[in-house]
Amino acid sequence: MHLNKPKQEAGSAGATPDDKRNYPLCRFSIAPMLDWTDRHCRYFHRLLSKETLLYTEMVTTGAIVHGKGDYLAYSEEEHPIALQLGGSDPAALAHCAKLAEQRGYDEINLNVGCPSDRVQNGMFGACLMGQATLVADCIKAMRDVVSIPVTVKTRIGIDEQDSYAFLCDFIETVAGRGECEMFTIHARKAWLSGLSPKQNREVPPLDYPRVYQLKRDFPALTIAINGGVKTLDEARQHLQHLDGVMMGREAYQNPGILLQVDRELFGSQAPLQDSVAAIEALYPYIERELANGTYLGHITRHILGLFQGIPGARQWRRHLSENAHKPGADVRVVEQALSLVRQPHCEMA
């Protein structure tokens, strides 16, 4: 079930119904990751942390306007949730942003960071860093029609356009002409050709000090950092310089880390005691989704890494991987896998 009525209250990111645009960027968020952060993943992550800001996978304006599926569907429990859009047509982006606000999203984020060829061919993603005025016009078009925040996720540069002056010019244009107040900066530049998207996440060197300097030079802007963050200790270090931290693959591959986020980064109580409780809390969702025709494997692929480093984790992963895709697989498969983790003498993963 996906509840898509307009929200009556803002999520925990700090908004109020009358002033949602100006809520502060969340101190901690999980990056939008294509084919990973789908609605099942986000529901699970929300069980682990009530404070973390969640992002959808990137959705193109074309998919929303012309696609046959409902690309804006989500579960009401996912709030606070941001929609990441891909596109470069201001009118189309404005239309989709308005639809997203009507459906209750807490934020709209424009993708100016993905370097893949497919994205470039669609004229969005990292290649837009070379067209700051167009990005500004896109942001302004969306801001003019919605009251929720409109933000940008970008890189520190592209190809040979990787000077600090280039980055400052981009930010200044998008913040000035586009009236954008919030940026998430992936602290690597992107190579638009010659590297795969995976290599673009690993090969260009991280430059955290450049992002720190950006915050010092644009103190009025809300700036978060992304790229290579693997621990909450690292997140705390970044928060000494910046407004927010976005974690990507580590949060997905080792989701147990999210159980500590609310207490360690927000000073609030953890929603669940441990990983076992998180899986048990997921049972009603699994049963609901199975009743609606969802395959069990579409949900369980997101929970494989939960017990990383815990006795029985290998058996947990193996049991889910071997059984979740079988015809008729139901919540009992997850219960059986969980019983393997509980055995006190299980092999260490």
- Spatial contact of 51 and 245, defined as CB atoms under 8 Å apart: no
As a whole number, mean pLDDT of residues 242-250 equals 97
Q: Indicate whether 6 pLDDT > 50.
A: no
Q: The domain 275-340: what is its CATH number? A: 1.20.120.1460
Verify whether residue 26 is a known catalytic residue: no
CA distance 71 to 52: 22
- Spatial contact of 77 and 1, defined as CB atoms under 8 Å apart: no
Binding-site sequence positions = 32-34, 84, 153, 186, 226-228, 248-249
Per residue in 227-243, pLDDT (tens digit) is 999 999 999 999 999 99
Q: Which pLDDT does position 201 carry in this prediction? A: 76
Phi/psi at 99 (5° precision): -60, -40
Lowest mean pLDDT among 53-57, 114-118, 183-187, 328-332: 114-118
Per residue in 166-189, pLDDT (tens digit) is 999 999 999 999 999 999 999 999
Q: Which pLDDT does position 7 carry in this prediction? A: 36
- Spatial contact of 111 and 125, defined as CB atoms under 8 Å apart: yes
Residues 6+ apart with CB under 8 A from 316: 304, 306, 307, 337, 338, 340, 341
DSSP state of 327: T
Q: Indicate whether 316 pLDDT > 50.
A: yes
Average pLDDT taken over every residue of the chain: 90
* pLDDT confidence bin for 117, thresholds 50/70/90: low
Tell which phi-psi region holds residue 159, choosing left (phi > 0), alpha (psi between -120 and 50) or beta. Answer: left
Residues 6+ apart with CB under 8 A from 244: 25, 26, 27, 28, 29, 184, 222, 223, 224, 225
Q: Nearest-CA neighbor of 248 among 265, 267, 224? A: 224
The SS3 call for residue 276 is helix
Q: Which of 26, 41, 96, 114 is catalytic?
A: 114
The domain ranges of the chain are: 28-266, 275-340
- The tokens for 218 are 């644009």
Q: What is the SS3 string spanning 288-318?
A: HHHHCCCCHHHHHCCCCCCCCCCCCHHHHHH
Q: Indicate whether 82 pLDDT > 50.
A: yes
Q: Which pLDDT does position 5 carry in this prediction? A: 32
* Whether this model's pTM surpasses 0.85: yes
CA distance 1 to 345: 39
Q: Nearest-CA neighbor of 86 among 105, 71, 75? A: 71
Lowest mean pLDDT among 55-59, 189-193, 260-264, 274-278: 189-193
As a whole number, mean pLDDT of residues 41-55 equals 97
- Spatial contact of 152 and 182, defined as CB atoms under 8 Å apart: yes
Residue with tokens 């048990």: 280
* pLDDT confidence bin for 41, thresholds 50/70/90: very high
Q: Which pLDDT does position 122 carry in this prediction? A: 67
Binding-site sequence positions for FMN = 32-34, 84, 153, 186, 226-228, 248-249
**CATH tag for 28-266 (out of 3.40.50.2300, 3.40.640.10, 3.20.20.70, 3.40.50.150):** 3.20.20.70
- Spatial contact of 255 and 305, defined as CB atoms under 8 Å apart: yes
Q: Which pLDDT does position 114 carry in this prediction? A: 86
* pLDDT confidence bin for 57, thresholds 50/70/90: very high
As a whole number, mean pLDDT of residues 52-66 equals 97
Phi/psi at 56 (5° precision): -70, 170
Per residue in 207-222, pLDDT (tens digit) is 999 999 999 999 999 9
Q: Indicate whether 18 pLDDT > 80.
A: no
- Spatial contact of 313 and 349, defined as CB atoms under 8 Å apart: yes
- Spatial contact of 191 and 234, defined as CB atoms under 8 Å apart: no
* pLDDT confidence bin for 162, thresholds 50/70/90: very high
Per residue in 292-312, pLDDT (tens digit) is 999 999 999 999 999 998 999
- Spatial contact of 206 and 199, defined as CB atoms under 8 Å apart: no
Q: Which pLDDT does position 9 carry in this prediction? A: 35
CA distance 178 to 163: 22
The SS3 call for residue 89 is coil
CA distance 93 to 63: 12
As a whole number, mean pLDDT of residues 139-158 equals 97
Distances (CA, A) of 190 to 25, 117, 158: 24, 12, 5
Q: Which pLDDT does position 14 carry in this prediction? A: 35
Lowest mean pLDDT among 20-24, 112-116, 320-324: 20-24
